[in-house]
């Protein structure tokens, strides 16, 4: 029986801790078990990742494990290996990595007992009850929703925006009856299979042939080309081998349709993992995948960390999406970990996108990834026609030019829907005094405050600070305050004035913050009535709106020509994704792009030749300047109460590192693009090399130096490997 265990304890130190395994514990210590251990004055839950036969720590100083929390290992060996690999690769404290491998419920020694969810359905004898009073609008509306969906939990009902009182009134009136479980998905009819076109067929065959071994594919398919259908077929073949599939998607809340398509095709076999679930639902689904009871896991970023019984296929949909990269704490890339897991489990990995990342295109060029192309839209839909509109010297109304307004009117007259895209929420990004030039700035950030007119508020989109919307200039007391530039809220208002009889559906973080509200808006769009959709990039993601025939893009210049070398890639992807919402079914689509620089070569390439040539051009530039993905990079960030102390800390790291080797470089300290955020000052070092191993060697050294340095009070620092921004 092992006497010692090495435990990953959730703390910011980059190592594991040895503990004694006391004889009083009944179980045998095993790697993968959770334990409760003393840590300073606290008790923490950690995971055993080694059972060494001896330890360097003097026996009298060594503490004992307090309690074993599992009978048998909670994490299987492959996940232990993944955690250790990730801690080393991302230079992140091992205990914090392991903590994220566990569902939240399992991170506590005594998991809080959650009551099983209670569901409500329309009661059987509803026809014998008196009808609801005509003024009980909320009750009528909720009853209709429950009738339509079959069964809903109290939580779901709350998420849809109904109060407890409304629900309780219906229950007390006898209109609803209790149910223990949601309606079994099996009652829905499996969707009929489509017959694949040649390119889809080729893609499915290539993936299916690869099952059973490690292989990497880039499924590059234009928007609406039927990538999902390819995934579904490949999954069927994987199921046929008795193996499981992991499907990663960027955000479930935004694309409930995707989830429905999977559940319809595989009614009894899909588990989901995403932020919309309660902790107990998450741990249940996690266990169903680990035990092999469910064969398909559909989830967002963190789902890539789930243990599988027998993983046979991994799919990463919209692989270019930035949400796959965790942007705080352990900054892992779920897409990259997906590829790593494919290699660990010896199974194929399919990365799919209409706008592949330059990383993946580079891997195709190097011959590491096999390219599968879908160049045509599926089911007879045609690619939309793209028009570039020169708006120089044009009078704009909340950003809208005349041509776009005319095209919108025509679209509505034809009985179709128009989508107007502006990637900026709120009423206006700046409030300025017309008399003295005063600008409403955030007190805590180097940023202007955004006007939210409906709420009579100024809000900082970086730190969340809010102020009441002033009516006079605080500097010169003039009354004439002007709104500089439009946001979606203003766009909505202005469209209402132009089209008073047409519903305007705005989709951005402000209109969808309540859970379930996105689904209601989407349902509204799917009624097919002529309407105008206004929104931010939330509208770009994977939606299939069959009646949208016009897409208008108001302002894309900013991102395309930004200073960050990743700006053009990101904006180009966004533009193509938004444009891809037009004409996806049997009605032809049009895209109108307004620009102040219609002759710019990048924009021209994107519009006239499409995403691939545009991306290849960007990739050639990255090669020329040896930028990622051609080279590898990492960022060390520090933030403190002054810019000087953040920079001084980083300078000490630089000074302690060796110099003179031209095969790697370190630049900085540089102030972050927004140096002051939420009252803290931020600076960074950028490490770069064409050799990954060299980068990691120096990064490792930098971390050791940073760990040993005396830090000014309140300084925080972190490492970001393969960053996606500065």
Binding of ligand ADP at residue 486 (CB under 6 A)? Answer: no
Binding of ligand ADP at residue 543 (CB under 6 A)? Answer: no
Binding of ligand ADP at residue 229 (CB under 6 A)? Answer: yes
The b/e string for 253-278 (b: 16+ C-beta within 10 A; e otherwise) is: bbbbebbebbbbbbbebbbbbbebbe
Q: C-beta of 557: minimal distance to Zn ion in Å?
A: 25
Q: C-beta of 322: minimal distance to ligand ADP in Å?
A: 19
Single out the segment in contact with ligand ADP by CB under 6 A; choices: 189-197, 452-460, 556-564, 593-601: 189-197
Q: C-beta of 592: minimal distance to ligand ADP in Å?
A: 21
Question: Quick one: what does residue 122 bind among Zn ion, ligand ADP, none, with the CB cut-off 5 to 8 Å set by partner type?
Answer: none
CB 183 within 8 A of CB 120: no
Binding of ligand ADP at residue 255 (CB under 6 A)? Answer: no
Q: Which residues in 367-406 contact ligand ADP (CB under 6 A)?
A: 378-379
Q: How big is the CA angle at 214 (ends 213 and 218), to the nearest 5 degrees? A: 125
Instruction: Report the C-alpha gap between 492 and 517 in whole angstroms.
Output: 18
Provide the Cα torsion 476, 481, 484, 488; round to 10°: 140
CA distances from 409 to 59, 142, 177, 501, 520 (A): 81, 35, 48, 12, 25
Residue 433 marked as a ligand binder: yes
- Name the residue nearer to ligand ADP (CB basis): 233 or 622: 233
- Name the residue nearer to ligand ADP (CB basis): 203 or 334: 203
The b/e string for 333-354 (b: 16+ C-beta within 10 A; e otherwise) is: bbbbbbbbbbebbebbbbbbbb
Binding of ligand ADP at residue 223 (CB under 6 A)? Answer: yes
- Name the residue nearer to ligand ADP (CB basis): 227 or 425: 227
Residue 347 marked as a ligand binder: no
Q: Which residues in 662-701 contact ligand ADP (CB under 6 A)?
A: none
Selection from 611, 672, 598 nearest residue 638 by Cα: 672
The b/e string for 402-436 (b: 16+ C-beta within 10 A; e otherwise) is: ebbbebbeebbeeebbbbbbbbbbbbbbbbbbeee
The 10 Å Cβ neighbour count of residue 97 is: 25
Interstrand relation of 548-553 and 590-595 (parallel, antiparallel or unpaired): parallel
Among 139, 228, 416, 448, binds ligand ADP (CB under 6 A): 228
Binding of ligand ADP at residue 226 (CB under 6 A)? Answer: yes
- Name the residue nearer to ligand ADP (CB basis): 189 or 195: 195
Q: C-beta of 711: minimal distance to ligand ADP in Å?
A: 48
CA distances from 291 to 32, 48, 286, 444, 562 (A): 15, 21, 9, 49, 48
Residue 460 marked as a ligand binder: yes
Question: Quick one: what does residue 475 bind among ligand ADP, Zn ion, none, with the CB cut-off 5 to 8 Å set by partner type?
Answer: Zn ion
What six digits make up the tokens of 560?
């395309």
**What SS3 string covers 385-435?**
EEEEEECCCCCCECCECHHHHHHHHHHHHCCCEEEEECCCCCCECEEEECC
Among 34, 151, 227, 362, binds ligand ADP (CB under 6 A): 227
Q: C-beta of 440: minimal distance to Zn ion in Å?
A: 11
Q: C-beta of 519: minimal distance to ligand ADP in Å?
A: 18
Q: C-beta of 434: minimal distance to Zn ion in Å?
A: 8
Which parts of this chain interact with Zn ion (CB under 5 A)?
Answer: 433, 435-436, 438, 442, 444-445, 460, 462-463, 465, 473, 475-476, 478
**What SS3 string covers 71-83?**
CCCCCCHHHHHHH
What six digits make up the tokens of 63?
């503490």
CB 71 within 8 A of CB 29: no
Residue 97 marked as a ligand binder: no
Question: Quick one: what does residue 81 bind among ligand ADP, Zn ion, none, with the CB cut-off 5 to 8 Å set by partner type?
Answer: none
Selection from 475, 408, 398, 473 nearest residue 429 by Cα: 398
Among 6, 105, 139, 200, binds ligand ADP (CB under 6 A): 200
Question: Quick one: what does residue 188 bind among Zn ion, ligand ADP, none, with the CB cut-off 5 to 8 Å set by partner type?
Answer: none
Q: Which residues are annotated as a binding site?
A: 433, 436, 442, 445, 460, 463, 473, 476
Q: Which residues are annotated as a binding site for Zn(2+)?
A: 433, 436, 442, 445, 460, 463, 473, 476
Residues that bind ligand ADP (CB under 6 A): 194-197, 200, 221, 223-229, 378-379, 544
């Amino acid at each position: 029986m092992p006497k010692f265990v090495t435990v990953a304890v959730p703390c910011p130190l980059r190592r594991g801790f040895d503990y004694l395994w006391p004889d009083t514990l009944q179980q045998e210590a095993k790697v993968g078990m959770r334990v409760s251990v003393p840590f300073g004055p606290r008790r923490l839950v950690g995971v055993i990742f080694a059972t060494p036969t001896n330890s360097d720590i003097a026996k009298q100083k060594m503490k004992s494990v307090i309690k074993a929390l599992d009978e048998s290992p909670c994490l299987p060996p492959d996940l232990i290996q993944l955690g250790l690999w990730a801690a080393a690769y991302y230079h992140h404290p091992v205990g914090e990595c392991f903590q994220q491998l566990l569902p939240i419920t399992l991170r506590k020694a005594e998991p809080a007992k959650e009551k099983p969810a209670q569901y409500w359905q329309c009661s059987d004898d509803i026809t014998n009850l008196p009808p609801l009073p005509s003024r009980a609008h909320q009750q009528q509306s909720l009853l209709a929703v429950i009738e339509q969906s079959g069964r809903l939990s109290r939580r779901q009902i709350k998420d849809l925006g109904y109060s407890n009182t409304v629900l309780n009134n219906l229950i007390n009136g006898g209109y609803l009856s209790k149910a223990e479980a949601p309606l079994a998905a099996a009652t829905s009819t499996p969707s009929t299979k489509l017959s694949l076109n040649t390119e889809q067929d080729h893609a499915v065959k290539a993936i299916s042939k690869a099952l059973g071994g490690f292989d990497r594919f880039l499924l590059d398919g234009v928007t609406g080309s039927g990538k999902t259908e390819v995934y579904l077929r490949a999954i069927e073949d994987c199921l046929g081998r008795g193996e499981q599939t992991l499907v990663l998607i960027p955000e479930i809340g935004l694309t409930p349709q995707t989830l429905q398509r999977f559940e319809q095709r595989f009614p009894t076999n899909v588990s989901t993992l995403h932020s919309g679930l309660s902790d107990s639902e998450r741990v249940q689904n996690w266990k169903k995948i680990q035990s092999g009871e469910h064969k398909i896991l559909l989830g967002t970023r963190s789902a890539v960390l789930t243990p599988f019984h027998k993983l046979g296929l991994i799919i990463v949909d919209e692989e270019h999406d930035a949400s796959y990269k965790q942007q705080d704490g352990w900054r892992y890339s779920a897409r990259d970990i997906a590829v790593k897991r494919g290699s660990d489990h010896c199974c194929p990995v399919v990365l799919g996108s209409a706008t592949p990342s330059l990383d993946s295109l580079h891997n195709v060029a190097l011959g590491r990834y096999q390219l599968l192309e879908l160049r045509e839209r599926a089911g007879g839909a045609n690619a939309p026609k793209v028009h570039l509109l020169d708006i120089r010297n044009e009078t704009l109304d909340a950003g809208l030019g005349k041509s776009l307004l005319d095209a919108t009117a025509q679209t509505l007259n034809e009985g179709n829907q128009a989508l107007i895209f502006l990637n900026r929420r709120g009423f206006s990004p700046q409030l300025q005094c017309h008399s003295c030039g005063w600008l409403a700035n955030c007190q805590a950030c180097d940023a202007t405050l955004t006007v939210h007119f409906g709420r009579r508020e100024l809000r900082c989109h970086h730190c969340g600070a809010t102020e009441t919307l002033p009516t006079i200039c605080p500097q010169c007391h003039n009354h004439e305050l002007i709104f500089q530039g439009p946001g979606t809220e203003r766009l909505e208002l202005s469209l209402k004035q132009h089209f008073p009889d047409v519903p305007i559906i705005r989709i951005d973080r402000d209109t969808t913050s309540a859970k379930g509200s996105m689904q209601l808006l989407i349902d509204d769009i799917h009624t097919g009535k002529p309407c105008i959709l206004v929104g931010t990039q939330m509208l770009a993601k994977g939606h299939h709106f069959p009646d949208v025939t016009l897409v208008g893009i108001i302002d894309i210049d900013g991102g395309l020509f930004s200073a960050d070398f990743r700006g053009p890639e990101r904006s180009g992807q966004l533009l193509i994704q938004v444009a891809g919402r037009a004409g996806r079914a049997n009605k032809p689509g049009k895209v109108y792009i307004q620009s102040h620089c219609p002759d710019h070569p990048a924009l021209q390439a994107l519009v006239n030749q499409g995403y691939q040539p545009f991306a290849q051009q960007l990739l050639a530039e990255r090669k020329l300047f040896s930028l990622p993905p051609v080279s590898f990079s990492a960022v060390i960030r520090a933030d403190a109460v002054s810019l000087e102390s953040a920079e001084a800390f980083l300078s000490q790291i630089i000074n302690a590192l060796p110099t003179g080797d031209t095969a790697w470089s370190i630049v900085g300290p540089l102030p972050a693009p927004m140096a002051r955020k939420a009252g803290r000052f931020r600076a960074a070092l950028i490490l770069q090399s064409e050799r990954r191993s060299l980068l990691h060697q120096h990064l490792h050294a930098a971390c050791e130096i940073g760990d040993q340095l005396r830090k000014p009070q309140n300084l925080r620092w972190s490492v970001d490997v393969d960053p996606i921004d500065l």
